Structure 1
Amino acid sequence: MRAVVLSGGLTHDFPATTACLVELLAEQGVEADVHTGVDAALHALPGAALLVVNALRWTMTGPGTPDRYRRLAGEEGASPSASARAGLAAHLEAGGGVLGLHTASICFDDWPQWGRTLGGAWVWGHSHHPPIGPAIEAAPAAGHELVDGLDPFTVVDEVYGDLDLAPGIVPLLTARQPTGPDTETTHPLLWAREHGGGRVVYDALGHHPPSYEVPEHREIVRRAIRWTTRG
C-alpha cells in the first residue's frame, strides 16, 4: 500500500515531522512516497491509498496574509494547477483517503475545494494560535474508533483556533485556549469525515517531533492511517 506525502514549507521542521509520519506509515504497512512539490504530489496520486499533507504551501498573497509572508510569495508561494486539483478529486472518487496534519489547514488558500475536503481552513486575520509553550491537555471524545478508549493526555503543541469549519464537523479531540485573564475557549483538534467518495482526517497537532512522541498522539495517527485507508 502506498501513501503520497506532501512535505515542506516555512517556519516548521517539516523534514523531521515527515520522518515521524513515514515511520508511523511504515508501522501500518504503508510505503511513503514523499514529495516537496505540490503538483508532483497530487499528480502522483493514481494508485495511492492515501494523501498525507504535512506542509505549509499557499499563495502567500491572499487577504489578510501578513507582510512577512507576502515578501516571500514570489519564491515560496504555491497554487496547485488545474490538473493537480483534478487529481485530488479523482483520488477521492476512487475511495482514496486524505490525512491532513497541523498546517494542512493553511494550505492552498486559493482552492476552496481543499478546505471543503479537509473540513476546515485557516483564515488570516481571524484564525490564530498562541505561542507554543506549556503542555496543553487534549481531551478525546467518544463514539469514533480514532479516539475510543483513549484518556486525556498532555502534549506540547499549538492550539489552532477559529478555523473556518465545514458544516457538521464533529470534534474528536479538543483543547482549551485562554482568551483572557479569566476566560478560555475550546477548539477542535481532530475530526474524521467522508467526502467526495473518500475518508478524510484532519489532525491539528504535529507542530514538531515531540508531538509525535506522545503515545496517545502516535496512536491517533496510527488509527487515522488505518481509517482513511479502510484498514
Structure 2
Amino acid sequence: MPIDTVIFSGEGPHADPWHPLAETSAAVADLVGDDGQVAIVTTVDKLATALDGARLLVVNASANRTTAIAEDEEFGRVLDDFLAGGGGLLALHSATIAFPQLATWRSTVGAAWDRGRTFHPPIGSTLIRRTDAEHPITTGLGDFEVYDERYTDLELLDGVDVDTLYVHDEGGATHPLVWARTIGSSRVVYDALGHDARSYESPGHVDLLRRIVTWLRHES
C-alpha cells in the first residue's frame, strides 16, 4: 500500500523541551490514515524521498533557537517542490515556531510565533469557537471543548489571504486558531491546537482534524 501521508516529526534542532512531538505525531498518524499509508519522518534529509507519491505533508515540529541552520533551507526547497506538485500541507501547533527565519515557511503557513509577544494561557480545558466562514472543512461542525494550549497574538503575515475557521477569546480579543488557504493547486491548513496527546482525545478536535485531512487530500 503506497504512502499517502508523511508526518515530519521534529527532533534535535527541529524540536524543543516543551512539546512531546513523538507522542503527538503518533496520535495524529493513528487518526489520519490506515496502517501502511502514513510514514513518520524525523530528519529533513529523508523527507524528499518519503514524499514521493504522497498527497499530504503534516509538519509537527518546533525549534528551541532563533537562528537558521542549513537544514531549514533544505526543508524549504522540499516544501516548495511538494506544493508546486499540488500536495497538501497541515502545520500543527508549534510549527509556527519551527524553521526560524525561513521566509518561505512563514509565508506558506501565514503566521509565526513572535518571541516577546506571542503567548498562551495555562493549558486547560477550553471552548474553541467556530467562525461564520463557509468552508467545506467546517460544514456541519460546531464549537468544541478541548484540553490544550491556546496560542495568542501570533504574528499574522500581511497580505496572506486565509479563511479563519476556529478562534478563541483571550484578553478581551478574539484570536485565530485554525485557518485554511490555497496556494495554486495546493491546500494549506494551520491548526494551532495539539500541544500533547490530550488534545486528540477531544471528539470535536478529532472530527475537525479528519475534515481537514479530507480537504487537504482533495477528497472534498
TM-score by length of 1: 0.83
| Match among 134, 143, 148 for residue 139 of structure 2 | 148
The answer to whether the 8 Å contact 1:175/1:187 transfers is: yes
The size of the alignment, in residue pairs, is 209
Unpaired segments of 5 or more residues in structure 2?
Answer: none
User: How far 1:51 sits from its partner (Å)?
Assistant: 0.8
- Look up the equivalent residue of 2:139 and give its one-letter code: D
Q: Residue 164 of structure 2 aligns to a residue in which SS?
A: coil
Unpaired segments of 5 or more residues in structure 1?
Answer: 63-76
- Look up the equivalent residue of 1:138 and give its one-letter code: I
Whole-Å Cα distance in 2 between the matches of residues 201 and 40 of structure 1? 23
| Match among 199, 202, 214 for residue 211 of structure 1 | 199
Whole-Å Cα distance in 2 between the matches of residues 39 and 156 of structure 1? 34
Shift in alpha-carbon separation, 1:61–1:43, aligned structure 2, 3 A: farther
The answer to whether the 8 Å contact 1:126/1:162 transfers is: yes
Q: Which residue of 1 aligns with 2:62?
A: 56
1:29-63 deviation digits (Å, cap 9, x = unpaired): 881111111332245323211110111136x034x
Whole-Å Cα distance in 2 between the matches of residues 21 and 147 of structure 1? 19
The answer to whether the 8 Å contact 2:126/2:147 transfers is: yes
| Match among 42, 50, 53 for residue 47 of structure 1 | 53
- Look up the equivalent residue of 2:164 and give its one-letter code: P
| Match among 44, 64, 71 for residue 80 of structure 1 | 71
Whole-Å Cα distance in 1 between the matches of residues 39 and 214 of structure 2? 17
Farther off after superposition, 220-229 or 34-43: 34-43
Identity across matched positions, percent: 38
User: How far 1:149 sits from its partner (Å)?
Assistant: 1.5
Q: Residue 61 of structure 2 aligns to a residue in which SS?
A: strand
Whole-Å Cα distance in 1 between the matches of residues 186 and 200 of structure 2? 25
| Match among 90, 114, 120 for residue 81 of structure 2 | 90
User: How far 1:83 sits from its partner (Å)?
Assistant: 4.1
Confirm whether residue 172 of structure 1 aligns to residue 172 of structure 2: no
Shift in alpha-carbon separation, 1:222–1:156, aligned structure 2, 3 A: same
TM-score by length of 2: 0.87
How large is the Cα RMSD of the aligned pairs? 2.0
